[in-house]
Structure 1
Amino acid sequence: MRPLRYSINVTLDGCCHHEAGLPPDEESMRYWTAEVERADALLFGRVTYEMMESAWRRPASGAWPDWVEEWQTPFAEGMDRARKHVVSSTLDEVDWNADLVRGDVVEAVRRLKEEPGEGLWVGGVTLPAALADAGLIDEYEFLVQPVLAGHGPTLLAGLRGRIELELVDRRELRSGAVAMRYRPRPDPA
């Protein structure tokens, strides 16, 4: 069974809005590029899919827009070519190497996890909370930004129950951000 990894930028006060942390730099983009490359497929809700597509889909011209710096290109290319699964009850169709996931999301994600491969990568806010509640996330990865946002959506708000985690990796970036990787603790038997 391939693991499901949840990865997101988060501020010290728990805000997970994509603009609340530090602007991306070369080191953080290399970090996220490696994480995207580690996955067989990406799993997004509609909002995250549309946000990522608007930023990282290669234009029809084949040339990246001027705002994509050279050091961002590997991330852009990895995101553009990645296989994607999009959970949505409002979209009628998706493209950009994607398929639409409808119906019982928990069962659909269980089936995706049962496929062979190295892993699935989920981002966003709402979908990961539902998957965490269902016990489907095998690894949580937070790039904790040295920022206090003071407002905005908070990480995994509304979970139905407590999820105990164990730290499996920690890495400090020059920006002051800290990448932390956790796995759920096994239930004591």
Structure 2
Amino acid sequence: MRKLAFGMNVSLDGYIAAPGDDLSWSTPSDELFQWWSDRVGATGLALYGRRLWETMSSHWPTADQQPGATPAEVEFAHRWRDMPKVVFSSTISTVDWNTRLVTGDAVTEISRLKADDGGPMDITGATLAAAAMRAGLIDEYAMVTHPVLVGGGTPFFTALDKWVNLSLLETRTFPDGVVLTRYETRR
């Protein structure tokens, strides 16, 4: 059975995006960018909601060809393009860059994918991750907490019907006071 992890940059007050989908507060240091790149390189399958898919696919497929692209950006772009991806959406009709589209029930498909053999899966996007959280499908939470209060926006966690007990797997401090905390779901 595959492991499903949900990891995102998060503000200290718990948001993955500030009002207006503003992500400018979460610009990574070189060290943090490399951590995210290594995570993408180790991901067997990435699950995307439509909005985050549109953000990522508008930049990373050609980021390595942009003037001034750093070696780290080139590496990330290659890893992102090569990584198998699934996009869950009922509003778009095509995807590309080593990606397939699922228009049906996300929880059913994620459950099926977890039961398959293969490498670890990452889930991204607040709405998609919330559905997986409520269904009890997430095995690991990776919060990269930035020392900023944004006051509202898109929350990392959704409202749940019952408690989810977690065990700490790792903590790590990055430049600028950014802290990674990884937790595993206790079953």
Q: Report the TM-score when normalising by structure 1.
A: 0.90
| Paired residues of 2:29 and 2:175 also in contact (CA < 8 A) | no
2: distance between equivalents of 1:85 and 1:69? Answer: 27
- Structure number having the greater strand percentage: 2
Rounded Cα–Cα distance in structure 1 between residues aligned with 2:67 and 2:162: 45
Measured at CA, do residues 16 and 67 of structure 1 come closer, stay the same or move farther in structure 2, by a change above 3 Å? Answer: farther
Query: Is the CA contact (8 Å cut-off) linking 1:10 and 1:142 kept in structure 2?
Result: yes
Q: Deviations over 1:17-74 (max 9, x none)?
A: 1615331221011100111111111100111111110121127xxx522364333222
Pick which of 65-74 and 43-52 moved more: 65-74
Greater mean deviation of Cα atoms: 158-167 or 137-146: 158-167
Correspondence list, 1:90-105, <5 A: 90-105=91-106
Are residue 42 (structure 1) and residue 46 (structure 2) matched? Answer: yes
Establish whether residue 126 from structure 1 lines up as the match of residue 127 from structure 2: yes
Per the alignment, do residues 155 and 74 of structure 1 end up closer, same or farther by CA in structure 2, a change over 3 Å counting? same
Look up the SS of the partner of 1:149 in the other structure.
coil
Give the match's secondary structure for 1:42: strand
Match of 1:138 in 2: 139
Query: Which amino acid in the other structure matches residue 8 of structure 1?
Result: M
Alignment match of 2:58 (pick from 54, 57, 64): 54
Return the letter of the residue paired with 1:72: E
SS for the counterpart of 1:56 is coil
Aligned twin of 2:6: 6
Contact 2:106 2:128 in 1 (8 A): no
Distance 2:69 2:131 in 1: 33
* Cα contact 1:58–1:80 (8 A) shared by 2: no
User: Which residue number in structure 2 is paired with residue 26 of structure 1?
Assistant: 30
- The one-letter amino acid paired with 1:27 is E
* Runs of 4+ deviating beyond 6 Å: none
| CA–CA distance in structure 1, aligned partners of residues 163 and 56 of structure 2 | 30
In proportion to residue count, which structure has more helix?
A: 2
Amino acid at match of 2:29: D
Q: Kindly, what percent of the aligned residue pairs are identical?
A: 36
Residues of 1 paired with 2:182 and 2:94: CA distance?
33
Does the CA contact (< 8 Å) of 2:133 and 2:158 recur in 1? no
Contact 1:26–1:72 (8 Å) recurs in 2: no
Instruction: Give the Å deviation of 1:118.
Output: 1.9
Q: Deviations over 1:78-114 (max 9, x none)?
A: 1122111010111112111111112221111111112
Give the distance between the partners of 1:178 and 1:21, measured in 2 at CA: 14
Aligned length: 183
